[in-house]
């Protein structure tokens, strides 16, 4: 529908067209935003309802059980605050390691010229296509074999080799990392590692922020592998704790608590997202250098 | 990055969760019912001399001496694999000598107790058992699993004689006579091919037909259990009643899946014979009856636990009956909501067309345990001690696996259930538990039952013929159990 | 480049290897071993029956043969592609439209920050939680049905989960909703690298928004656009959690929404590494070929544009 607007051959200064296009843009944006926020609204509503009320199905009106649900979560036997800390540790470190080392790997492929580089690049792209489901159970056996149960290492360290993040960094570098800057720094006598850290990484900030968010969120919501690796209560992450609430026996089963817990677990990730997204949505001026 | 390895779905996550949970229940004054304010519930012994309370006290005081001291050469750590906190709270509340240290550890005498909780979502609990149990005998002493819990659906997988991951109870020194008050079906579920018992349960989840009294009065002219039972005594009369219900705007059942367990608990042969899957006559009957009911709009094909299933918990839902055990009545029918039928005491309970059970948790001793004496005592105390069993029935509303206790509760008028309009369900539940016959289970039951219901939904919905649906079932079974062949 | 510099470069290029070390080491330990195992296993009969381990017995290509003799593989591939395309087309259209609007200086949209932030939010909700909401919304007795009935469009509730079209539609809708923000962010981040001067210069020259988009934005966005296309394709072929959760793992009605990975997951129930391995190898080849085509098409396009 935007197409027709664009095809009008008037000059951009024609304010009527701009007004119409702007109006269309606003309408679409508002609709899209409602689509996006609606789910959070229902999650919040459901978190305010009791188990019995939830059984009655959908409603748009909040109920009065939010305090009670929250109270039950915090006073229950599941250490949710600890769970949040654990989730945060795992997700933050994963995001950090994944973005830093993926940038480094991409930098290696993009900037340097060495034997086997093309083969390595192709190989990494190929790995990207392997469905993780296949290797999941083998991975867990490997972890158990290494004696790394109840340890965050198998959840964090593998993110160093993240082909999809690497591929993005590589693509982003193609149009956003001017070789001239790096050569200039070399002439100034900076070491390669220093150039990478002080010149390449800052230039990659928007890309790093994007992938940091994606990795953080994926790790934050990951259930399957952590559920097989973490067994001690004080090591468990939020998705395992949510699953545990859902596995509760009849006497304790409470959908209101499940929803409250989901709402509680989304909250920090929103904050992290808002902080990191400044680097992405900040405006068009940050990109800077471009030939 | 955009793929999760989730092998499951919410609904089934929830279903699994709920099946998992199914332990909690029995009659007893449900928490919200008026009866609960009377002696039974919280701190019985102290407050009143009412009958159920009294027996609780001796259990507490009598036992510690015997249980607290395992033989000196046994392990110092007791590891218990579970998927929720149900058994932990039973042990904490009822096992003499158990001291809580924190939420996942405790002490019995000098022995440290570790609760290892893996949720059932995504098959994670079973995957975990599959990893740790086979090598358990070789694990380091403090890492050895000593006790693990299982549910009926997959119990046979772990009590299998060849797999040999659960100890035969006789090897622990538990004689058949020790379990004489338990219901036979609870033993069938954990009996291996050689006839050895490899687990025990404190719960007997026999179930019945839970009917809407209002609808019974309107359509059948009476809500008296004896009268209603006549209208649902067998499947033929059940189907005739369904027509009458439909004429008055009631669905007979909320979904075809409500009746599935009743039919499938009463099969004449196991799902798998000579490595081939065979659809039993009673299951085929379920398909035929269900298809007719769906076509006549007397029921639907909704999933259990979905919103469409549970709408009948309210008068507007216009559903005549559900099938379920005491825990479903007490904990799942929204009795805490005054507008629900349960909240108004509008349900009644009868045996229904056939006896069946739903749920329950079994305790198994892990092969390789280094605490056999303690494990034996835990199993005996939690599943055979009359005083403890009655205490569990009263305090936790579990329908306990003990004939004497159930008979006693059935004869006690203070155990009328408000949700059932004051009806005391224990006699019916006790009788029902005797009727259940689980001698025809196989290790393939969980997969076969799930896949069969899923495949037949296509037939009921009109998306496939019976033969096509059956072909899809066969395909799914061979995927799940590559060693099997379709019939 | 003179000779001295060349020698210098060779020395510097050693850093290429050094920078690869962390990735390679971690990769070998945590991914290559399981991967080689996967391929290796595809030639074996290797599964669990209950707790009993069957195999591994070498059976050559028998796993591959049984994959194809069933004939279902093609159907699952079709299902996957249909649901992916249904979701991806609106996803990429909306994403391009939004990022074009956000980067178009003449529009000067207010509240951009808000909109840019909001679009990614659905991705923060766990798929399983999302599905819980969908079940409630689209239940026979749910709000969508009652709205449609009140509006007189339906006379009785429509069972969304019992019809091929609606199940596929819901899967596509949910995927689109969860991932369009992700795509938009990727595109925007790519566009941020494009200098505002370019847009201003183009505007001064009297370029229309359409011209600006196709002549400036798209060419400079090409590497990221290729990334989006390829990763979406891979993500599409590996589509799993949404249809798995929405259909209870059945892929019904009659497996019309069963994707390739859902099928693979069926084999993991019995820890059937043989069949799962064979299926993964097929997927690997399939994805590789498709990605190669996408890469080629977009790359040759680039050559044309440059000339």
Q: Choose the weakest-confidence range: B105-119, B246-260, B341-355, C22-36.
A: C22-36
Q: Check residue B383 and give its pLDDT.
A: 94
Q: How far is A158 from chain C (nearest CA, A)?
A: 6
pLDDT, mean of residues A262-272: 90
Instruction: Indicate the fold that domain C72-306 takes in CATH.
Output: MetI-like fold (1.10.3720)
Distance from C39 to chain B by nearest Cα, in Å?
A: 19
The answer to whether residue C291 neighbours chain B at the CB level (below 8 Å) is: no
Contact of C172 with chain B, judged by CB distance below 8 Å, is answered with no
Give the mean pLDDT of B243-248. Answer: 95
Strand-pairing partners, residue C53, are C48
Please tell me which residue, A130 or C142, carries the higher pLDDT value. C142
Q: Which residues of B touch C280 (CB under 8 A)?
A: none
**Phi then psi for A19, rounded to 5 degrees?**
-60, -45
Q: Which two tokens stand for residue B210?
A: 């839970």
Is the pLDDT confidence value at B18 over 50? no
**Interval B331-340: pLDDT, tens:** 888 888 888 9
Cβ contact (<8 Å) for A250 and B13?
Answer: no
B143 inside 8 A of chain C by CB: no
Closest CA relative to residue A73, chosen from A220, A271, A264, A266: A264
pLDDT of residue A283 exceeding 60: no
State the Cα–Cα distance between residues B116 and B131, nearest whole angstrom: 14
Q: For the beta carbon of residue C246, count every other beta carbon within 10 angstroms.
A: 25
Contacts of C83 (CB under 8 A, 6+ apart): C168, C171, C172, C175, C239, C243, C257, C259
What are residue B114's DSSP bridge partners? B79, B105
Res A287: pLDDT: 38
Higher pLDDT, residue C132 or B34: C132
pLDDT digits (tens, 9 = 90+) for B67-76: 444 455 788 9
Q: Do B163 and C50 touch (CB under 8 A)?
A: yes
Structure tokens at C115: 């909109």
Closest in C23, C108, C276 to A134, CB measured? C276
The encoded tokens of residue C31 equal 């991914």
For C227-237, what is the mean pLDDT?
87
Beta bridge partners of B111: B108
Using CB atoms, which residue from A140, A244, A253 is nearest to B119?
Answer: A244
Q: Report the Cα–Cα distance between both ends of chain B, in Å, rounded.
A: 41
Within 10 angstroms of residue C205's Cβ, the number of other Cβ atoms is 9
**What does the alpha-carbon distance between residue C28 and residue C285 come to, in Å, rounded to a whole number?**
21
Q: How many CB atoms lie within 10 A of CB B101?
A: 11
Residue B215 — very low, low, confident or very high, per pLDDT cuts 50/70/90? Answer: very high
pLDDT of amino acid B1: 34
B389 touches chain C (CB under 8 A): no
pLDDT given for residue B49 in this prediction: 38
Q: Is the pLDDT of residue B397 over 70?
A: yes
pLDDT value at residue B335: 85
Q: Which of A164, A233, A246 is opposite residue B14, by nearest beta carbon?
A: A246
Query: C269 and B480 in contact by Cβ < 8 A?
Result: yes
Residues for chain C: how many in total?
A: 307
A70-74, A113-117, B214-218, C154-158: which has the highest mean pLDDT?
A: B214-218
pLDDT for res B36: 35
Q: How far apart are CA B181 and CA B482, in angstroms?
A: 40
Of B12, B165, B302, the CB nearest to C51: B165
- pLDDT for res B64: 41
pLDDT 10s digits, B79-92: 999 998 889 999 99
Domain B19-204+359-415, CATH homologous superfamily name and number? Periplasmic binding protein-like II (3.40.190.10)
Domain positions in chain B = 19-204+359-415, 207-355+444-480
C301 touches chain B (CB under 8 A): no
Which of A39, A138, A223 is closest, CB to CB, to C122? A39
DSSP structure string for C187-223:
HHHHHHTS-HHHHHHHHHTT--HHHIIIIIIHHHHHH
- Residue in C108, C213, C261 closest to A131 by CB: C261
The helix (H) or strand (E) run that includes residue B43 is none
Which range is least confidently modeled, A43-57, B257-271, C1-15, C38-52?
Answer: C1-15
Indicate yes or no: CB of B117 within 8 angstroms of CB of A250.
no
Taking CB atoms and an 8 Å cut-off, how many pairs form between chains A and B?
144
C178-209 pLDDT, tens digit per residue, is 999 889 888 887 776 676 778 778 878 888 87
Q: How far is C269 from chain B (nearest CA, A)?
A: 6
DSSP class per residue in B213-276: HHHIIIIIS---HHHHHHHTSSHHHHHHHHHHHHHTT-EEES-HHHHHHHHHTT-SS-SEETTE
CA C237 to chain A, closest CA, distance in angstroms equals: 9
- Probe site for chain B from C52, C127, C248 (most B CB atoms < 10 A): C248
**Closest to B423 (Cα-Cα) out of B147, B229, B281:** B229
Say what percent of chain B tops pLDDT 90.
60
A-chain residues near C196 (CB < 8 A)? 284-285
Of B84-88, B175-179, B455-459, C264-268, minimum mean pLDDT range: C264-268
> pLDDT tens for residues B309-332?
989 999 999 999 999 998 899 888
CATH topology of domain A73-281: MetI-like fold (1.10.3720)
Q: What pLDDT, on a 0 to 100 scale, did the predictor assign at position A281? A: 59
In this structure, which long-range contacts are made by residues A216-219, counting pairs with CB atoms below 8 Å and at least 24 apart in sequence? A216/A91, A216/A92, A216/A94, A216/A95, A216/A269, A216/A272, A216/A273, A216/A276, A217/A91, A217/A269, A217/A273, A217/C123, A217/C124, A218/B1, A218/B2, A219/A90, A219/A91, A219/A94, A219/A95, A219/A155, A219/A159
**Which residues fall within 8 angstroms of residue C58, CB to CB, at 6 or more apart?**
C43, C44
What is the predicted pLDDT for the residue at B159? Answer: 93
pLDDT of residue A123: 82
Is the backbone of residue B479 left (phi > 0), alpha (psi -120 to 50) or beta?
Answer: alpha
CB-CB contact of B201 with B169 (8 Å): no
Minimum Cα–Cα distance from B131: chain C residue = C51
d(CA C238, CA C80): 8
% of chain A residues with pLDDT over 70: 90
Residues 6+ apart with CB under 8 A from C12: A112, A186, A192
Helix (H) or strand (E) segment spanning residue B15: helix B10-21
Which segments of B252-361 does DSSP mark as H helices, in order? Answer: 256-264, 281-295, 307-310, 326-331
C59 pLDDT above the threshold of 50? yes
Q: Which CATH superfamily is domain B207-355+444-480 in?
A: Periplasmic binding protein-like II (3.40.190.10)
Give percent of chain B with pLDDT exceeding 70: 85
Structure tokens given for A212 = 């940091």
Mean pLDDT of A234-258: 85
Q: Are C265 and B29 in contact (CB under 8 A)?
A: no
Measured from the Cβ of residue C35, the count of other Cβ atoms closer than 10 Å reads 20
Alpha-carbon distances, residue B246 vs B252, B259, B309, B318, C155 (angstroms): 7, 17, 17, 10, 18
Q: What is the pLDDT of residue C256?
A: 93
- Give the nearest chain A residue to B360 (CA atoms): A249
- Asked whether the beta carbons of A204 and A172 are under 8 A apart, the reply is yes
Contact A33 C119 (CB under 8 A): yes
Contact by Cβ (8 Å): C237, C283: yes
Domain positions in chain C = 1-33, 72-306
C residues 6..25 contacting B (CB < 8 A): none
Q: Is B283 or B46 the better-scoring residue by pLDDT?
A: B283
Interface test with B, best of A249, A253, A258, A262 (most B CBs within 10 A): A249
pLDDT at A2 over 70: no
**Phi, then psi, of B145 in degrees rounded to 5:** -75, 135
- Per-residue pLDDT tens for B113-172? 999 998 887 788 998 899 889 889 888 888 899 999 999 889 999 999 988 999 999 999
CB atoms within 10 A of CB A11: 11
Round the average pLDDT of chain B to a whole number and report it: 84
Residue spans of the domains in chain A: they are 2-47, 73-281
The answer to whether B472 touches B486, Cβ cutoff 8 Å, is no
pLDDT digits over B268-312, tens only? 999 998 889 999 999 999 999 999 999 999 999 998 888 889 899
pLDDT at A3 over 70: no
Task: Name the residue among B117, B131, B331 with its Cβ closest to that of A244.
Answer: B117
- Alpha-carbon distance of B311 to B299, in angstroms, equals 13
User: Comparing C9 with B88, which gets the higher pLDDT?
Assistant: B88
Which residues of chain B have a CB within 8 Å of the CB of C185?
A: none
Report ipTM (2 d.p.).
Answer: 0.85
pLDDT band at A231 (very low <50, low <70, confident <90, very high): confident
Q: What pLDDT is stored for residue C4 in this prediction?
A: 56
Q: Which residue has the tokens 């992700």?
A: C182
Partner chains of A (3+ C-beta pairs under 8 Å): B, C
Q: Would residue A189 be called left, alpha or beta, if left means φ above 0 and alpha means ψ between -120 and 50 degrees?
A: left
Torsion angle of C-alpha atoms B74, B76, B81, B82, degrees rounded to 10: 120
Task: Look at residue B203 and tell me whether its pLDDT is greater than 60.
Answer: yes
């Amino acid at each position: 529908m935007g197409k027709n607007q664009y095809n009008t051959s008037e000059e951009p200064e024609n304010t009527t067209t701009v007004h119409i296009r702007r109006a269309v843009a606003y309408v679409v944006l508002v609709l899209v935003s409602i689509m996006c926020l609606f789910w959070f609204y229902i999650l919040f509503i459901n978190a305010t309802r009791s188990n019995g009320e939830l059984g009655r199905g959908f409603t748009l009106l909040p109920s009065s059980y939010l305090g009670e649900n929250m109270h039950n979560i915090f006073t229950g036997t599941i250490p949710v605050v600890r769970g949040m800390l654990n989730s945060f540790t795992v997700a933050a470190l994963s995001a950090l390691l994944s973005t830093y080392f993926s940038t480094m790997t991409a930098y290696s492929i993009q900037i340097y010229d060495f034997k086997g580089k093309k083969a390595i690049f192709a190989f990494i792209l190929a790995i990207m296509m392997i469905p993780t489901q296949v290797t999941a159970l083998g991975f867990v056996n490997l972890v158990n074999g290494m004696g790394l149960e109840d340890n965050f290492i198998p959840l964090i360290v593998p993110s160093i080799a993240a082909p999809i993040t690497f591929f993005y960094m590589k693509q982003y570098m193609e149009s956003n990392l001017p070789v001239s800057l790096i050569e200039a720094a070399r002439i100034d006598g900076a070491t390669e590692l220093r150039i990478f850290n002080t010149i390449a990484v800052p230039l990659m900030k928007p890309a790093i922020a994007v992938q940091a968010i994606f990795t953080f969120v994926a790790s934050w919501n990951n259930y399957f592998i952590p559920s097989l690796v973490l067994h001690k209560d004080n090591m468990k992450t939020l998705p395992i704790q949510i699953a545990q609430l859902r596995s509760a026996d009849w006497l304790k089963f409470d959908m209101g608590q499940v929803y409250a817990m989901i709402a509680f677990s989304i909250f920090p990730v929103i904050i992290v997202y808002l902080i990191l997204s400044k680097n992405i949505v900040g405006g068009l001026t940050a990109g800077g250098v471009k030939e | 990055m955009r793929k999760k390895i989730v092998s499951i779905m919410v609904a089934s996550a929830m279903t699994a969760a709920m099946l998992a949970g199914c332990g909690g229940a029995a009659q007893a004054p449900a928490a919200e019912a008026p009866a609960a304010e009377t002696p039974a519930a919280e701190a019985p012994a102290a407050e009143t001399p009412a009958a159920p309370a009294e027996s609780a006290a001796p259990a507490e005081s009598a036992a510690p001496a015997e249980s607290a001291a395992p033989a000196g050469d046994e392990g110092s750590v007791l590891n218990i694999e579970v998927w929720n906190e149900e058994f932990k709270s039973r042990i904490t509340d009822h096992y003499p000598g158990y001291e809580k240290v924190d939420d996942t550890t405790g002490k019995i005498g000098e022995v440290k107790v570790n609760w290892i909780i893996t949720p059932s979502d995504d098959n994670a609990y079973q995957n975990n058992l599959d990893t740790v149990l086979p090598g358990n005998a070789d694990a380091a002493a403090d890492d050895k699993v000593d006790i693990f819990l299982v549910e009926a659906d997959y119990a046979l997988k772990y009590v299998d004689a060849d797999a040999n991951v659960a100890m035969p109870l006789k090897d622990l020194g538990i004689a058949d006579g020790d379990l004489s008050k338990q219901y036979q079906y609870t033993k069938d579920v954990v009996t291996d091919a050689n006839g050895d018992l490899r687990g025990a349960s404190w719960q007997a989840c026999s179930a019945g037909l839970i009917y809407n009294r209002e609808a019974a009065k309107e359509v059948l002219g009476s809500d008296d259990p004896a009268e209603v039972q006549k209208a649902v005594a067998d499947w033929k009369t059940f189907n005739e009643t369904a027509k009458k219900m439909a004429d008055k705007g009631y669905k007979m059942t909320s979904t075809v899946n409500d009746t599935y367990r009743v039919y499938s608990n009463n099969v004449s042969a196991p799902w798998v014979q000579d490595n081939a899957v065979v659809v039993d006559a009673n299951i085929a009957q379920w398909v035929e009856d269900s298809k007719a009911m769906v076509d006549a709009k007397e029921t639907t094909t909704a999933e259990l636990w979905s919103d469409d299933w549970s709408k009948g918990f309210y008068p507007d839902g216009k559903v005549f009956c559900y099938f379920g055990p005491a825990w479903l009545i007490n904990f799942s029918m929204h009795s805490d909501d005054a507008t629900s039928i349960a909240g108004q005491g509008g349900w009644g309970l009868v045996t229904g067309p056939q006896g069946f059970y739903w749920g329950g948790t079994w305790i198994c001793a892990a092969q390789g345990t280094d605490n056999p004496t303690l494990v034996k005592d835990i199993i005996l105390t939690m599943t055979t001690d009359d005083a403890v069993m009655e205490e569990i029935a009263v305090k936790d509303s579990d329908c306990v696996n003990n004939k004497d206790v159930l008979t006693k509760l059935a004869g006690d008028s203070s155990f009328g259930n408000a949700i059932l309009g004051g009806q005391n369900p224990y006699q019916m539940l006790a009788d029902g538990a005797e009727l259940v016959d689980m001698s025809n289970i196989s290790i393939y039951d969980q997969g076969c039952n799930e896949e069969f219901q899923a495949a037949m939904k296509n037939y009921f919905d009109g998306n496939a013929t019976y033969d096509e649906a059956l072909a899809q079932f066969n395909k799914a079974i061979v995927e799940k159990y590559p060693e099997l062949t379709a019939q | 480049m003179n000779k001295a510099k060349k020698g210098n470069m060779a020395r510097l290029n050693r850093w290429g290897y050094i920078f690869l070390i962390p990735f390679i080491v971690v990769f070998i330990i945590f991914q290559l071993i399981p991967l080689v195992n996967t391929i290796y296993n595809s030639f074996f009969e290797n599964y669990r029956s209950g707790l009993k381990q069957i195999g591994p017995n070498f059976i050559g290509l028998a796993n591959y043969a049984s994959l194809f003799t069933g004939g279902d593989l093609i159907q699952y591939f079709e299902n996957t592609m249909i649901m992916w395309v249904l979701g991806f087309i609106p996803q990429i259209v909306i994403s391009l439209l939004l990022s074009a609007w956000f980067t178009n200086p003449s529009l000067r949209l207010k509240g951009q920050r808000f909109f840019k932030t909001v679009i990614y939010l659905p991705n923060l909700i766990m798929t399983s939680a999302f599905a819980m909401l969908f079940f409630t919304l689209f239940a026979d007795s749910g709000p969508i049905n009652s709205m449609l009935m009140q509006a007189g469009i339906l006379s009785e509730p429509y069972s969304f989960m019992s019809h091929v079209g609606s199940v596929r539609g819901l899967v596509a809708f949910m995927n689109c909703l969860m991932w369009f923000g992700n795509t938009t962010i990727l595109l925007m981040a790519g566009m941020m690298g494009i200098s505002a001067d370019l847009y201003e210069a183009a505007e001064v020259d009297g370029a229309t928004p359409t011209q600006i988009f196709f002549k400036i934005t798209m060419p400079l966005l090409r590497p990221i656009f290729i990334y989006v296309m390829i990763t979406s394709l891979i993500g599409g072929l590996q589509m799993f959690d949404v249809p798995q959760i929405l259909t209870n793992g059945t892929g019904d009605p009659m497996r019309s929404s069963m994707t390739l990975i859902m099928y693979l997951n069926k084999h993991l129930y019995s820890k059937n590494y043989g069949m799962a391995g064979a299926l993964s190898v097929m997927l690997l080849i399939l994805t590789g070929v498709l990605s190669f085509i996408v890469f080629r098409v977009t790359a040759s396009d680039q050559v044309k544009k440059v000339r």
